Amino acid sequence: MDETPLEYLVPGNGKTGTGYLWVCNRPGGDVVFHGQTSRAAKCVEKIIPVEFRGIIQCDGYAGYRSFAQNQEREGQIRLAACYAHARRKFIEAQEQAPRIVGWLLRQIGHLYAIEGRLRQERAGPRLRAAIRAAQSRSIHERIHRALVRLKIKKRYLPQSSLGKAIDYALGQWTGLGVFLEDGRVEIDNNLVENAIRPTAIGKKNWLFVGDANAGQRGAILYTIVENCRRHGLDPYAYLRDVLTKLPTLTNQQIKDWTPAAYARRLRSEHQLQAAS
């Protein structure tokens, strides 16, 4: 889960307000965008189903922690942190301490090299968990020991770029280790960030949306287009077909016209044609 700012027009004064596109991605599944007018923790309450129990992978934003620590869910939701976020903060601090940061980045690089091999081999959760336990855990612990030593020595001010990077990583350390314990969890949040990236390109072109409610309408369209992309569909061809047939469909039939269902139907038709 992640969020990205979205400017919208505020009627009457010619100014824009800042809303957010909140994005949820199920690894191996679909992605859903939600338009909200703020980044408040209550937005997470609106998006995550009440009955959800499990792991949420996210950045260090306090709103997620507040959601997970709610009394009704305490102990039933775990937060998995993102190694890419931690890595970025060290990259920003590279000029301050090139040797130290270089060493830390190499260790994180070793973790990513292992993940790259697992991805190439299309390893399932069990194999990923086993390989991570045998190879990644020791690297992860080595990084932790180095960060603790740097923190104890107090060589870098808390407000310096490296000081902030160290504090961020240590503050997220429990969450950064979740991927070692559960083979379903990724090392980072890049899957959802990849889904967000096209919106950043769009925002450079259209700058803002018309009003606060337009954020949710945009989120619906982004959801459709991104899921078409993931299922190998041409978004324009999909929307043209679906919108043509939509007036004759019942509510019960809508589930058969999602991008995932549509892609499955096309594959089945192609297989039948090939067989004949």
Separation CA 39–CA 37 (nearest Å): 7
User: Are residues 106 and 168 both part of a single domain?
Assistant: yes
Torsion, Cα of 114, 120, 122, 124 (10° steps):
0
Inter-residue contact 19 to 42 (CB < 8 Å): no
pLDDT digits (tens, 9 = 90+) for 105-120: 999 999 999 999 999 9
For residue 156, what are the domain limits? 83-176
User: Are residues 75 and 117 both part of a single domain?
Assistant: no
User: Residue 206 has which token pair?
Assistant: 């259209």
User: Are residues 99 and 18 both part of a single domain?
Assistant: no
The answer to whether position 162 is within a domain reads yes
pLDDT at residue number 71: 59
The answer to whether position 185 is within a domain reads no
User: Residue 62 has which token pair?
Assistant: 């306090």
The total domain count for the chain is 2
Neighbours of 54 (CB within 10 A): 10
3-state secondary structure at position 240: helix
The answer to whether position 212 is within a domain reads yes
Mean pLDDT of the 82-102 span: 95
Mean pLDDT of the 224-235 span: 94
User: Are residues 172 and 155 both part of a single domain?
Assistant: yes
The answer to whether position 252 is within a domain reads no
pLDDT at residue number 174: 95
pLDDT digits (tens, 9 = 90+) for 160-210: 999 999 999 999 999 999 999 999 999 999 989 888 888 888 888 888 888
Which of 118, 152, 176 represents a domain boundary (last residue)? 176
Across the chain, mean pLDDT equals 91
